[in-house]
Structure formats: C-alpha cells, structure tokens
Amino acid sequence: MNQNDATVGRWLAANGPEADVVLSTRVRLARNVAEVPFTHRATPADHEQTIEVARWALADSGYMDSGKFLEGDELAEPQGQYLIERHLASPDFVASKAKRGFYVSNDETTSLMVNEEDHLRFQVLASGLDFPEAFTAAAALDEKLEGQLQYAFSPEFGFLTACPTNLGTGMRASVLVHLPALVITREIEKVLRGALHIGLAVRGLYGEGSETKGNFFQISNQKTVGQTEWEIIETIADISRQVITYERKAREYLMKKLRVEVEDKVFRSLGLLKGARVLSSDEAINLIAGLRLGVALGIVNEVNLEQVTRLMVLVRPANLQAMLGEKLSAAERDERRATFVRETLVHQ
C-alpha cells in the first residue's frame, strides 16, 4: 500500500509559516440562532430546525459546492472518532445524544458543528502559524451565515453563548506547537508559565483534558470578552513567536552540545517505525514526533515534514481503519499500523 490511498486535510500539508515548530492554527467561533433555546434546553424539533437552517445557509452561500453535510446515522461511530482524530469535531459533539448536523469542506480546513453546546460552532484550520488565513476564512463564513439567519447577540455581552466562558467574541483561537527541544532542555515549564501568566491556556494534542502526547502543545485564549478578535489573536501570535524562537534556540543548543543524543533519539524513532511489527497508536505518535524533530533539524532527509505530519493523523485508530476499509480489533490494528508505517517510510 502506498500513502496516496489516504488523503488528509490541507492544513496538514506542513507548508505554512514556521511549520518546523507550528503544526497548525485554528480559529473557532461559537454562535447561536436568535429566539431558539440553547442546544441543551431546545426540543428535538428545535434541533432539527437548527440543522435545517444551517444546511440551508451553507447551501445558499455556496459552501455545499465544496463540502458535505452529514447528519443522523452519518455521524454514528466510527465516523465520530474519525472526525475527532482529524481535529474536525469535538468529543462532546460526537458523544451528544441530540440531533446533530455537521459540515466539512473537501479540503478539511473548514468545519461546522450544529447543536454542539452552542447551535453553531465552526472552525478554520490553517497550516503553520497563520492567523490571517484562519481568521479571514472564519469571518467570511460568519458573514455568510449571518446573511441567512439572525444571531443571538447583545451590544453589552456580544455573541450570546450557552456558557458565559465563550461569551463576547465567541472566539477560541489556538496554535498547535511541537516543542521537543524545550521539553528535553527542561525549559518548557518556564515558557508555558509565561503563556499562562498572560491568561492563555495550554493543553495537549487533542485539546481540553488531553495529555501532551509527543511534546505537542496547544496554546489558546481563555478570555473572550473585552478584547477584539485581533487583539486576542495578536496576544497568541506574540507568545507563539516567542515560543518558536525559544524552541529554535533550544534545538540549536541541542545540536551543538548534545548532537549525538539527539541523533540517537531521532534515528531510534526512525528505526522503530521502519522495523516494528506491532505499533500502538500512542507509541506511533511518540515515535513520529521524534522523527518530526529529526526532519525539522535536517538530520533525516528521506522523508519530509508533510509526510511525517500526515502520518500523525493516519495512524490513529479510526483513521487507520477508514483508510484500510476494514473494521479491526485493537491487536489487528497495531499490526496493520506497523505495516502501514513501515511501508510508507521504506518506499519513499
């Protein structure tokens, strides 16, 4: 098998600004439709109506021409898990018992959840550190939707959301960064404390409550009231630029002082990925993260950043099964995963 069998979102192309450190930029907006109770208080009829309104609004503004809308059984497992692994839908959305609708653009940069905690939650993902790209696209969808429906809005509190933590701009902006050198040099806490200090949140690869697998960290805003969208974005972009500088300095330091150790870590990762016959999802992610550092540092040239980044998604359980077109047990998965990774890396 070769990896062309599997497509991944355009945002995983690892071709955006600062891609050696920043995997992706994400802007998410929360909106509610006026005069309809929030999702958890709404009736099934309300839920259906919101789905209908959203689908109609997306179709009328041309979004359906370059994407698809899923609902009902189309969102049942394993599709839900597949979307979570691709960072397109939230675990809460997938677990929800309410009637839901879901839109995703063909290139997987734009997605929209209907009847999550808020009626509409949509996001745009961009490769690397690229808020202009992500925010402009999110704002464009926001305007299109607003042309078709009336939002719950108050001049005092801004966009009204089910939970007051999302009030105001309704915006959560984040960057997903890979900071292996800061972790190895134990500088990571200092850097992350700086982000926390100015009111930003730091989480793991899969957002809230997830661990920091493979030294990937998500930095996002916590406050949504009292600052404009661009002020919020500037704060995160500023911190991101600092973090990028620190990480690169740490990488330089490692290459100067601990070159053998770094090379050892990188080539062990590559060796295991190429040679293992059984690979769990977590082990694969950690090894791929090690390999990614090697590629970013130019130690490994046989694969590029994009190939490594795509692997991160494709080795996840639901994505692996979708790609292979088979339902597999955990043991079967670990075996097939190892085969897939091996063939991908050996046949470059």
Residues near another protein (CB under 8 A) are: 32, 34-38, 40-41, 117, 139, 142, 146-160, 162-165, 167-169, 171, 199, 223-229, 231
Residue placing its CB nearer to another protein in the complex, 228 or 348: 228
Decide whether 38 or 216 has the Cβ nearer to another protein: 38
Please state the closest distance from residue 164 (CB atom) to another protein, in A: 5
> What is the amino acid identity at position 336?
R
Q: How many helices (H) and strands (E) does the chain have?
A: 12, 10
Q: How far is the CB of 79 from another protein (least distance, A)?
A: 26
Between 121 and 310, whose beta carbon lies closer to another protein? 121
In 63-161, the DSSP E strands lie at 67-71, 101-105, 110-114, 120-127, 153-154, 158-159
The least distance separating another protein from the CB of residue 240, rounded to whole angstroms, comes to: 20
CB of 72 to another protein, least distance (A): 24
CB neighbours of 37 closer than 8 A, spacing ≥ 6? Answer: 43, 46
Question: Count of CB atoms within 10 A of residue 221's CB?
Answer: 21
How many Å apart are CA 336 and CA 163, to the nearest integer?
42
Instruction: Please identify, using beta-carbon distances, which residue of 235 and 321 lies nearer to another protein.
Output: 235
Q: How far apart are alpha carbons 110 and 181 in whole angstroms?
A: 31
When the beta carbons of 78 and 91 are compared against another protein, the nearer one is: 91
Between helix 131-146 and helix 229-257 the angle, nearest 10°, is 150
Choose among 32, 57, 58: nearest CA to 46: 32
| 153 vs 253, beta carbon nearer another protein | 153
Q: Given the complex with another protein, which of 107 and 146 has the nearer CB atom?
A: 146
Nearer to another protein, 150 or 348 (CB): 150
Backbone dihedral region of 230: left (phi > 0), alpha (psi from -120 to 50 degrees) or beta? alpha
- Min dist CB 162 to another protein, Å, is 5
Instruction: Report whether 192 contacts 217 (CB < 8 A).
Output: yes
Q: In terms of Cα–Cα distance, which of 167, 165, 172 is closest to 152? A: 167
> What is the nearest approach in angstroms of another protein to the Cβ of residue 142?
7
CA distance 169 to 229: 7
Q: How far is the CB of 35 from another protein (least distance, A)?
A: 7
176 sits in which H/E element: strand 171-178
Could you tell me the smallest distance in angstroms from the CB atom of residue 125 to another protein? Answer: 20
CA distances from 280 to 148, 303, 313 (A): 46, 21, 13
Query: By the 8 A CB rule, do 113 and 93 touch?
Result: yes
Closest distance of CB 248 from another protein, Å: 32
Nearer to another protein, 143 or 264 (CB): 143
Tally of residues, the chain: 348
